[in-house]
Amino acid sequence: MKIIFGLSLVASSSAFHISPPSTTTTTTTRLFVATTNDKALFVDETRASVSNYYGKELSSSDDLKTNACCTAGSPPTYIQECINNIHPEVVSKYYGCGLCLPQYPLEGAKILDLGSGSGRDVYIASQLVGPTGKVVGVDMTDEQLEVANKHLDYHTEKFGFGNVEFKKGYLENLGDLGLEAGSFDVIISNCVINLCSDKEAVLKECLNLLKPGGELYFSDVYSNRRVPKSLQEDEVLWGECLSGALYWNDFENMAKKVGFTDPRLVEDAPITVSSADVERTISESGNDSLDFYSATYRLWKLDLEPHCEDYGQAVIYKPKSCCGGGIERYPSGWLLDKHHFFEAGKIHPVCGNTYKMLHDTRLKEYFDFVGTWDHHYGIFEGCGSSLPYTAVNDATGDKGASTGGCC
């Protein structure tokens, strides 16, 4: 299989240099060279090829070869209304894989979008946070940033305010961008972290930039088993957001290690590889059982416990009333994650971690809380460790029926 890529590596005695991306035709195989510089080389090479893919190879979502970086699923009406206000060029260059905006009021919030691309999600967030909020998008690819910046004035005029800024940088080095530590309410990202060569570094940067009680809410691609190195070396598969995907359990363990102690899966969907070429590459490598999923996780910056512990606590999502109640758009109930839908007015027993996710965050005003931390009743029943996603063959089934996850 041949594709257009322009990486060429030139060896010197002590280092390898990458020439700027061009549009030369080469094979899909990445060049891995056994030196102590392997990691640095891998990082540089990955960034250059991803940048080339999103900057030069693709001109719109239609050019993608799989639906990994562009899963459908119609957004809620209020998000669709925001999308309708966004410049068509920005919308046409959307390469996300899910809805990465948390579904609670965001007025006045400060949001960071990792790998903001041409800016669709930034411009949605801009409308949701309003004139008192702020949205920063970070991306490394000039062509993507150019489109995002080109339409700044259009959106300022359309929305009646300007609260958006795009920065050029690497997600593994967010600390270089002058962003204030502990200053973001929410960090979002849409189909980007799988493309990063050092995913742990990205998660660490996020933890540093979030406010206490803030969250990383993001959609990305994961697999049901580790992606073999031979496939990771395929630039199309990486660019299409497949072969850089983490095995779900490696991701969850990585998140915990970094300090996001209780990662919560919000929703997931199997990815269909609709390209015969891509399918053949995977099959010929002997990996027919390798499945990919798009999944949205929420990772809170909270002092949580490694397991769901029971303190006899409960929460009640406030029913609609004359003086407020729950979140206006969700009068019947609200979904925290795949295992927690809080029906309005009903008493829901929760573990200590879930209690904190609702009590020590922006969600507090929408719930009533029952109980204290005075008495521990043991582990909260039902924590699991099998594949948390709804299996490929069962994707139409009950979303809450997974065996994995907590509580």
Ligand X SMILES: C[S@@+](CC[C@H](N)C(=O)[O-])C[C@H]1O[C@@H](n2cnc3c(N)ncnc32)[C@H](O)[C@@H]1O
Residues of the shown chain interacting with ligand X in the complex, contacts defined by CB under 6 A: 47, 50-51, 54, 69, 94-96, 115-117, 120-121, 139-141, 144, 170-172, 190-192, 195-196, 241
Residue nearer to ligand X on the CB measure, 45 or 121: 121
**Tokens 């400060």 belong to which residue?**
110
Q: What's the one-letter identity of residue 339?
A: H
The 3-class SS string of 81-115 reads: HHHHCCCHHHHHCCCCCCCCCCCCCCCCCEEEEEC
Closest CB 90 distance from ligand X, rounded Å: 9
Q: Considering the complex, what minimum distance in angstroms separates the CB of residue 145 from ligand X?
A: 8
CB of 117 to ligand X, least distance (A): 3
**Hey, how many other C-beta atoms are within 10 angstroms of the C-beta on 44?**
17
Rounded CA separation 364/243 (Å): 39
Quote the least distance from Cβ 152 to ligand X, whole Å: 17
Q: Which is nearer to ligand X, 47 or 340 (CB)?
A: 47
Residues 7 and 45: beta-carbon distance below 8 Å: yes
**Smaller CB separation from ligand X, 125 or 387:** 125
Name residues whose C-beta falls within 8 Å of residue 360's C-beta, 6 or more positions apart in sequence.
Answer: 212, 213, 302
Supply the minimum distance, in Å, between the C-beta of residue 334 and ligand X: 25
For residues 28 and 116, which CB has a smaller minimum distance to ligand X in the complex? 116
Helices (H), 265-315: 276-284
Measured CA to CA, the distance from residue 81 to residue 128 in angstroms comes to 11
Q: Which residues contact 156 (CB under 8 A, 6 or more apart)?
A: 162, 164
- Cβ proximity to ligand X: between 139 and 215 the closer is 139
Q: Least distance to ligand X from the beta carbon of 116, Å?
A: 6
Phi, psi dihedral angles at 99 (to 5 degrees): -95, 115
Instruction: Round to whole Å and give the CA distance between 125 and 82.
Output: 9
| 115 versus 270: smaller Cβ distance to ligand X | 115
Which residue, 54 or 251, is less far from ligand X as judged by CB?
54
- DSSP assignment of 23-90 equals --EEESB-----STTHHHHHHHHHHHHHHHIIIII-SSGGG-SSSTT----PPPHHHHHHHHTS-HHH
By beta-carbon proximity to ligand X, the closer residue of 45 and 172 is 172
Q: What are phi and psi of 46, to 5 degrees?
A: -65, -45
Smallest separation, CB 253 to ligand X (Å): 21
Query: Beta-carbon neighbour count of residue 107 at 10 Å?
Result: 10
Query: Which amino acid does the sequence have at 390?
Result: T
| Closest to ligand X by CB, 75 or 325 | 75
Q: Cβ closer to ligand X: 124 or 316? A: 124
Whether the Cβ atoms of residue 383 and residue 341 lie closer than 8 Å to each other? no
The distance of closest approach from Cβ of residue 30 to ligand X in the complex, given in angstroms and rounded to an integer, is: 15
Beta carbon of residue 49, minimum distance to ligand X (angstroms, whole number): 10
Non-local CB neighbours of 21 within 8 Å, separated by 6+ positions: 5, 6, 7, 48, 49, 51, 52, 55, 56
Q: How far is the CB of 398 from ligand X (least distance, A)?
A: 28
